[in-house]
A = this chain, B = another copy of it.
């Protein structure tokens, strides 16, 4: 391998030729591998099977979790999630199996009615806008897109969203909020710096009811001994006199079962009261039985941490393998790509040379490896640089992951050479 930028066009063509032969060998294998979504692998799900035989349904205060009632969630579940989210139990609503569903509900609520601190419904301003640190989580962006918000991309830095940019944008009253995955961000695996959190909490926003959608999806999902730590957004907002600004979320989907976990949110008491009042017509109660079983199974923060160590034991080798293969397969070619090395979460980002991401993903797919669509991590699915590829190493078995990663390196190199040859 040699620095591609030091090659002349003949050398590039030669290298491309030999890579295409390797690519054909992969293609001939009839691979059917999927690195597209952040799904836990079956061995991770097996870690929680003991949860399924817990039959003790009685809450600590005598509530029969099997029956109707207690829309706000079981008391012990509110306390458990308050501990995770850094809030008081009465600042927490424990919901159903999906934190995305709770976020959707709150965007809907803001759009349709506004919040307790809103002068009007968000939709009253014509076309409201929402800030989308990019690359970010496609399903977040899609919620606001669905409700007709204009999505405004904000560059994502290793310290979180570019705060100079955010502070400039929130001077527009139509900007109603921002999506955040503050710890081990999707897809980069970046964690927000203390300065970023403080600036988000303190900044002056033209919209008096600006909301930070604080999706702490990977709050306990460490992959190494280095545990990234972030400030408590609700606390920082309170200090800054903006306690109604933070809406914080977390989920046990990637702790126990993705389809059958428990989601929760935390916010100021004023927000919680307002939200519960609005949720009342929607549902009698969430699945409290599942809440109780989860708390019985995970017990407390120590129990949760111990359980997450078991996930780490299964996931860390996968992340290490991908990183080693990227290093081995790409580092020798000069600066044709860079990638993130997260301490936790479910993803890493691979950045190709501009204009090479789509082609790389296409090459992979044609050889039987499905990656997340290039651009998916950007508002409207468009990466202006065509550079970012989200890598999701969790679901495939290790050997398949290694094969897919090797093929990926070959595809990045082919796409790069094609681009360099075009330029010459």
Q: Once the chains bind, are B283 and A98 in contact (CB under 8 Å)? A: yes
Most buried by B among A40, A55, A283: A283
Q: How many residues of A contact B (CB 8 A)?
A: 45
**Contact residues in B for A64 (Cβ distance below 8 Å):** 42, 45
Which B residues are CB-close (under 8 A) to A290?
Answer: 260, 287, 290
Segment 229-265 of A: residues with Cβ below 8 Å from B: 253, 257-260
A104 lies within 8 A of B40 (CB): no
- Contact B53 A282, beta carbon cutoff 8 Å: no
For the complex, give the distance between the alpha carbons of A258 and B55 in Å.
16
Interface on chain A toward B: helix, strand, loop, or mixed SS? loop
| C-alpha spacing A259/B288, complex, angstroms | 6
Q: A114 to chain B: closest CB distance in Å?
A: 15
The 10 closest A-B pairs by CB, nearest first: A260-B289, A146-B281, A66-B257, A101-B283, A68-B258, A104-B282, A45-B66, A97-B287, A52-B55, A260-B287
* Contact of A143 with B by CB under 8 A: yes
Cβ of A39 within 8 Å of any chain B Cβ, yes or no, is yes
Is B69 a contact of A282 with CB atoms below 8 Å?
A: no
Contact B281 A259 (CB under 8 A): no
Q: List A residues at the B interface (Cβ < 8 Å).
A: 37, 39-40, 42, 45, 49, 52-55, 57, 64-69, 96-98, 100-101, 104, 108, 112, 139, 142-143, 145-146, 253, 257-260, 281-290
Distance, CA A288 to CA B68, complexed state (A): 20
Complex Cα gap A260–B49 (Å): 18
**Besides the contacts A52-B289, A67-B257, what 5 more A-B pairs have beta carbons closer than 8 Å?**
A39-B67, A49-B55, A52-B54, A66-B258, A96-B287
A66 and B282 in contact, given A96-B287, A108-B108, A287-B287 (Cβ under 8 angstroms): no
- Shortest CB distance A271–B (Å): 19
Other-chain residue from B57, B66, B260 in contact with A288 (beta carbon distance below 8 A): B260
Closest residue of B by beta carbon distance from A290: B260
Bound-state CA distance A200–B257 (Å) is 43
Measured in the bound complex, the distance between the Cα atoms of B201 and A395 in whole Å is 48
